[in-house]
Every structure is written in C-alpha cells, then in structure tokens.
Structure 1
Amino acid sequence: MKIIKSIQKRIFNHTVKKEGGQPFSKKIREFFKANYNIQIGYGSYGGCFNHKNIPSGTNFGNYCSVAEGVKIFRANHPSNYFTLHPLFYNPVMGYVKKDLLERPSLNIGHDVWIGSSTIILPSVNYIGNGAIIGAGSIVTKDVPSYSVVAGNPAKLIKSRFTPDVIEKLEKSEWWNLSKEDLIRNKIELEKLVNGN
C-alpha cells in the first residue's frame, strides 16, 4: 500500500510540474477542491496549498501570493458554554456526531499577498482584491481592497493606490488573464498604475 501511494504521489507531482507547477496546475486545484473544499484560483501559490493551516470553505482568487505559515481559523471555542473543551461541539472528539460550531467561509480576492505567519481569525469574512497583509499580522476584521494592513490586531497602514487607479485596475480584471496573456499585456497594465 505504501508503494502504491508513493507511485501515485510521483505521478501526481509529475502532472503538476507538467502543467506549469503549483501556481498554474489545474490538477492540484481540482485535488484541493475535491479533497479539502479549498478553492484556489489560477496563479495563486504557496501556503494556500497547506490543508492543515487552511480550512475547508476557504476561497482564494487568482494570482494570490500566500506565504508559508499562514493560518486561517473559522471558529472560536464557545466562550458562553460551561467548558471551552471541544468534547461537546467537535465530532473529532468522538462524543457529538456533527460539528456544532458555525464555520463561515472566507473569501480572499485576487492578487492578495499574505505575509508569513499571518493569522486570520473567524471574524474575517472577506479580504479584498490587491490587499497586502504584513507578516506576523493577526487579522480580526475584513480587509478592504488595495489596502495594506499589518500588526496585532492588523490595522490599516495605507491604501496602495488612489481611487481612480483602483477603479482602472478593477475594470481591467487583469487577474482573469492566463499567464501568457498577462505577460503579453504587462506594459499596458503597468500604465494603469504609473500613468505613462
């Protein structure tokens, strides 16, 4: 059985590599969706492929950069119950048949950069397009598009662009381009930001 799993893993890794590696492989995305209910957009790479740190129901847009060590939590221990222990609400402990905690999904936009060792708490439902989350941050609320947040708790540092540049980027929907088309359109897309 171990040998078969090893062969399957080699075939899978070969297929992923053949499809352009982790950022561009369709096969690895299908695997994570089917086995872990984690949706990972085209071009996204890194820590988003760590099913131990990224829970079911997490959706990443296209071209996200996710550092290793990012942890996402979708529920807290119920502080209004007589015990904080999961015996009475988590089926993993063997007493209850189904999870009694609400675990909402987390939607992460396109072109989001999440720095190393960031923790995203259950109170967060959405991280907007183009957002940057600084390394080591603890995110406790939604992150607006094109904002830079950092700290514990994460606070707004600045907006990446002016509202008119953000509008142009949003209208372009460049994140829907294939790698090849994105490379072809690089100069035109840069003009949206630097105005040249």
Structure 2
Amino acid sequence: MTISVKQAYPRSGDKQTIYLKYIITNPNIEVGDFTMYNDFVNDPTQFEKNNVLYHYSINHDKLIIGKFCSIGCGARFLFNSANHTMKSLSTYPFPLFFEEWSLDKKDVIDSWDNKGDIVIVNDVWLGYEAVIMAGVTIGDGAIIGTRAVVTKDVSPYAIVGGVPAKIIKKRFTEETISSLQKIKWWNWPKDKIASNINAIQTGNIEALE
C-alpha cells in the first residue's frame, strides 16, 4: 500500500501516530476526518489486521468511527464472529467446520450470534488496550478507560471503565452536553474549528454558541 506521508502521518518525524482514514482499505470500515491512532508497539498502518478482529465479510458488519476520535495503542474491536452462539446447547462452532460434519456451507454464520455493527461517534477517546464488542455504539465525546471491555452502548460524554465497562461519571452537566450536541463543532469547516480552538480547549462553550 502506498501511503501519502503528508496525509497519513500528521506529525513530522512521528511514525507511531496516523490519521486512520488514509490507511483503511476495507469497505466495511469507515473513519472520519482527523481521527488518530497511536501505536508504540506495532506498525499503526496495520490497524485493520491487528485491531479489527473477527471481522469477516460474510457478516456484512461494519466498523464506523466518526471525526476527531483518539484511539490509544492496542485498542481492539471484536466483531460478531467472536460471539460463539449462545442459542445452541454447545458453544462449539460446528457450522464453521461444515466439511468435517457434512453440514451446509451456507449455514456457517450459524456458528455465532450477530449483534450488529460497532459505531464510535465523534470526539471519542479510547484508552490503551480498550476492547469494544460487536453491537456497541459509543456516543459523542465519551471516554473509554484503559483496558475497559465495553459490552453495552455508552452515552455521550460519559466516562466508563472496568470489565465489563460501567459508567464512572459524566464529563459535563446535562446542559453542557446538550449544547455540545447541538453545536457539533466537529462538523464545522477546518478554518472555523481553527479559529475556535482556544474556546474548545478552555471549555468556553458560550463562545461556540
């Protein structure tokens, strides 16, 4: 794969941090502008191989990541083929080995339970080695703690941690959260964001409204 250094590597001399959208090749993965991934263990351009797991095209499930997300080293997304079916008397994936057991190849997907897509909205921070399970949606501005295992949806601007992940607190008041979701600064043109960075960083929401 030929990668544009200017596009994929936003920091001069830093090959551990990339803008993800420029290295994605899988049509079932969508990543928004300025979403970054840092990996100090592996090559970050191998994100699809190392971080998006059990993501087989037969399921048609998607990983959708919005804009301005920050993804920590080793964060992983576990898709539906990791969910051995709970409907059977056995968790063993017999349909996967259709040749061994003389089963119909078209029933391979009966080996697992399909819980749906993984959706990470905008301005989400995923901590070091966090794990996001199939079917989970993480709302705008949420923070996922280090090595948390997220099995359920996370509301906007919530901070969650633990195994399984549970809410620790909300980042802001409900009034501020409501305002941020109306403003949707991440959808602004780049020049407008640039002129409002100080207000964003200092928490001056009045200046954004």
Instruction: Give the TM-score category using the shorter length.
Output: 0.7 to 0.9
The secondary structure found in structure 2 opposite 1:62 is coil
- State the 1:179 CA deviation: 4.2
Structure 1, 185-194 or 101-110: larger mean CA deviation:
185-194
- The alignment covers a number of residue pairs equal to 176
> Does the residue aligned with 1:148 lie in a helix, a strand or coil?
strand
1:51 paired residue number: 48
Aligned equivalents of 1:168 and 1:72: distance in 2? 30
Instruction: Give the share of equivalent positions with the same residue, in percent.
Output: 31
Q: Counterpart in 2 of 1:19?
A: 7
1:185, 1:168 → 2: CA distance? 16
Q: Give the aligned partner of residue 117 of structure 2.
A: 105
Are 1:184 and 2:175 an aligned pair? no
Gaps of 5+ in 1: 1-8
Q: Counterpart of 2:87?
A: 80
Distance in 1 of aligned mates of 2:118 and 2:136: 5
**2:29 counterpart residue number:** 38
Q: Distance in 2 between matches of 1:26 and 1:132?
A: 21
Q: Separation in 2 of the partners of 1:80 and 1:41?
A: 36
The whole-number CA distance in structure 1 between the counterparts of 2:149 and 2:22 is 32
Q: Is the Cα–Cα contact under 8 Å of residues 90 and 99 in structure 1 kept in the other structure? A: no
1:18 maps to amino acid:
K
Please tell me whether residue 155 in structure 1 is matched to residue 162 in structure 2.
no
The unaligned stretches of length 5 or more in structure 2 are 10-17, 39-43, 56-60
Distance in 2 (alpha carbons) for counterparts of 1:36 and 1:135: 28
Q: Give the TM-score taking structure 1 as reference length.
A: 0.76
CA–CA distance in structure 1, aligned partners of residues 97 and 139 of structure 2 = 31
Q: Is the 8 A contact 2:35 2:69 kept in 1?
A: yes
Structure 2 CA distance, aligned partners of 1:194 and 1:160? 19
Partner of 1:141: 152
